[in-house]
């Protein structure tokens, strides 16, 4: 939602939202609906299946959250929201509780890395909305601690990721447990045709709302590319962090690369944190909270964060490695220039990655300018701490003490000495 001044005919009151929810929205100072909210909310309130395509940072959470909260007050049943990452699930849970908390809305957050016992206790209180990642949701289904037979509304957020080959088998198991009579909604910034074809297997005559075509990027987002050999990438990051002084989000392809780059950035003198699947839930929460609060200026992440970070003041996004999936490029750079704020995205590509660059340009339907590589700072030498040698006086054996006795020979030396005595 946008916290902008109200304009004639463009407020939430004309979307069919109940007066109680309108009061809550006004109390939260949300006044002007975004385009995806304006088009999706009336259709979702009618209980129709829906596919929503809009840029990142345009308020998709409330586009499905508000209708879900209102419809669950009218029909007896539960809502289910499935998301790809723990961070995104936690953010959606927080947003829904802000809106529905005063009305007594109960939610259950089912994510990996958290106590499954606490989640079971939460489920026993019959939550109105279940917000879950696929893996942990299937854990509960397998252990019979959760039944989805009472679910009336289902949402797949970041639907293209949820239906790709990584999550597709888990999503299939989840939909097998859902009742046939339900409302299904899919939202994402990118929904390729093959994913759309797969999605129709779970929906009935869905209405497609495309506020921006797949691959669209924010209007105030600028981009550039550097063609640079892989060994020089870290030095270029050093140069860029001296040029751009605001909060910076850096994406790597692998967890090992994220760890290595984070150490290098700390050696450059910047406060940095890392976030990837090898980090514990507490470590990931600390990294994200520290990045939001300014404790960490730089956050290095894998694609786990391309769909799970909602920070409004990110100045720069750096693609240290190009994404494996072309569609992830849009989600990565969409972490900056959110809610009408300007932002910049820089990609570092090696000379042999021209094909990947052309695929990205075809997706976003725009040519990305290639910038000349600046003069790079010298290679930073690793800092080794000198090994201090103990002074002879420190280890001198005091005369007349037990330590003055000669050291007993090792076992093999004792055996050799006995053999020599026998041959004498």
The DSSP bridge partners found for residue 151 are 78
The residue extents of the domains of the chain are 12-210, 221-371
260 or 399, which is more confident? 260
> Quick one: pLDDT at residue 325?
87
| H helix or E strand, kind and range, residue 82 | strand 78-82
- Contact between 122 and 108 (Cβ < 8 Å): yes
- The whole-chain average pLDDT of the chain stands at 87
The pLDDT tens digits of the residues spanning 260-277 come to: 999 999 999 999 999 998
Whether pLDDT at 404 is above 70: no
Whether pLDDT at 376 is above 80: yes
What is the length of the chain? 424
> Quick one: pLDDT at residue 119?
97
The pLDDT tens digits of the residues spanning 38-65 come to: 999 999 999 999 999 887 778 899 999 9
> pLDDT band at 3, cuts 50/70/90?
very low
What average pLDDT does range 119-124 have in this prediction? 97
* CA 420 – CA 128 distance, rounded (Å): 86
**Alpha-carbon Rg for the chain in angstroms:** 28
* CA 395 – CA 386 distance, rounded (Å): 20
What average pLDDT does range 346-359 have in this prediction? 95
The pLDDT tens digits of the residues spanning 79-95 come to: 999 999 999 999 999 99
> Quick one: pLDDT at residue 277?
87
Whether pLDDT at 5 is above 50: no
- Contact between 262 and 407 (Cβ < 8 Å): no
> Quick one: pLDDT at residue 164?
78
Whose structure tokens read 């198991």?
Answer: 173
Buried b (16+ CB within 10 A) or exposed e, 322-353: bbebbbbbbbbbbbbbbbeeebbbbbbbbeeb
The two three-digit tokens of residue 194, written as one number: 């093959």
The two three-digit tokens of residue 347, written as one number: 């990609």
Q: Do domains 12-210 and 221-371 have the same CATH topology?
A: yes
| H helix or E strand, kind and range, residue 301 | strand 298-301
What residues have CB less than 8 Å from 1, skipping those under 6 apart?
25, 30, 32, 33, 34, 37, 59, 62
407 or 253, which is more confident? 253
> Quick one: pLDDT at residue 176?
95
- pTM over cut 0.85: no
Homologous superfamily of 221-371: P-loop containing nucleotide triphosphate hydrolases (3.40.50.300)
38 or 378, which is more confident? 38
The pLDDT tens digits of the residues spanning 178-234 come to: 999 999 999 988 888 888 888 888 999 999 998 877 677 877 899 999 999 999 999
* CA 311 – CA 115 distance, rounded (Å): 26
> Quick one: pLDDT at residue 135?
94
What average pLDDT does range 108-123 have in this prediction? 96
- Contact between 31 and 15 (Cβ < 8 Å): no
Of 263-277, 370-384, 389-403, where does mean pLDDT reach its minimum? Answer: 389-403
CATH of domain 12-210: 3.40.50.300
Provide the 8-state DSSP code for 104.
T
Provide the 8-state DSSP code for 166.
T
> Which range among 161-170, 195-204, 241-250, 393-402 has the greatest average pLDDT?
241-250
> Quick one: pLDDT at residue 200?
85
Whether pLDDT at 9 is above 60: no
The pLDDT tens digits of the residues spanning 151-180 come to: 999 999 988 888 876 788 999 999 999 999
């Amino acid at each position: 939602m946008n916290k902008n001044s109200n304009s004639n005919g463009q407020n939430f009151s004309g979307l069919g939202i109940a007066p109680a929810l309108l009061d809550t929205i006004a109390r939260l100072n949300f006044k002007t609906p975004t385009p995806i909210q304006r088009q999706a909310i009336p259709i979702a309130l009618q209980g129709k299946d829906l596919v929503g395509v809009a840029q990142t940072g345009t308020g998709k959470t409330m586009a499905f959250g508000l209708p879900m909260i209102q419809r669950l007050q009218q029909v007896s049943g539960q809502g289910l929201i499935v998301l790809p990452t723990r961070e995104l699930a936690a953010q959606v849970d927080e947003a829904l509780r802000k809106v529905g908390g005063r009305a007594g809305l109960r939610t259950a957050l089912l994510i990996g890395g958290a106590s499954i016992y606490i989640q079971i206790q939460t489920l026993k209180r019959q939550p109105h909305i279940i917000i879950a990642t696929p893996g942990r949701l299937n854990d509960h289904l397998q252990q019979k601690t959760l039944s989805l037979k009472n679910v009336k509304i289902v949402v797949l957020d970041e639907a293209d990721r949820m239906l790709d080959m990584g999550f597709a088998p888990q999503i299939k198991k989840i939909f097998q447990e859902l009742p046939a009579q339900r409302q299904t909604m899919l939202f994402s910034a990118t929904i390729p045709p093959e994913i759309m074809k797969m999605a129709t297997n779970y929906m009935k005559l869905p209405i497609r709302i495309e506020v921006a075509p797949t691959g669209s990027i924010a209007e105030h987002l600028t981009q550039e590319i550097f063609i640079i050999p892989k060994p020089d990438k870290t030095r270029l990051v050093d140069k860029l962090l001296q040029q751009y002084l605001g909060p910076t989000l850096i994406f790597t392809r692998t967890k090992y690369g994220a760890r290595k780059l984070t150490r290098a950035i700390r050696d450059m003198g910047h406060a940095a944190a890392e976030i990837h699947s090898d980090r514990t839930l507490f470590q990931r929460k600390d990294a994200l909270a520290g990045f939001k609060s300014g404790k960490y200026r730089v956050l290095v992440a894998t694609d786990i964060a391309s769909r799970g970070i909602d920070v409004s003041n990110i100045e720069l996004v750096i693609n240290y490695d190009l994404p494996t999936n072309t569609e992830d490029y849009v989600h990565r750079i969409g972490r900056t220039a959110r809610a009408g704020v300007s932002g910049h995205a820089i990609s570092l590509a090696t000379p042999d990655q021209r094909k990947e660059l052309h695929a990205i340009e075809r997706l976003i339907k725009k040519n990305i300018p290639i910038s000349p590589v600046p003069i790079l700072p010298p290679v930073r030498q690793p800092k080794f701490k000198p090994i201090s040698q103990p002074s002879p006086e420190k280890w001198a054996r005091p005369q007349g003490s037990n330590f003055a006795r000669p050291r007993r020979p090792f076992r093999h030396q004792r055996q050799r000495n006995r053999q020599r005595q026998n041959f004498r």
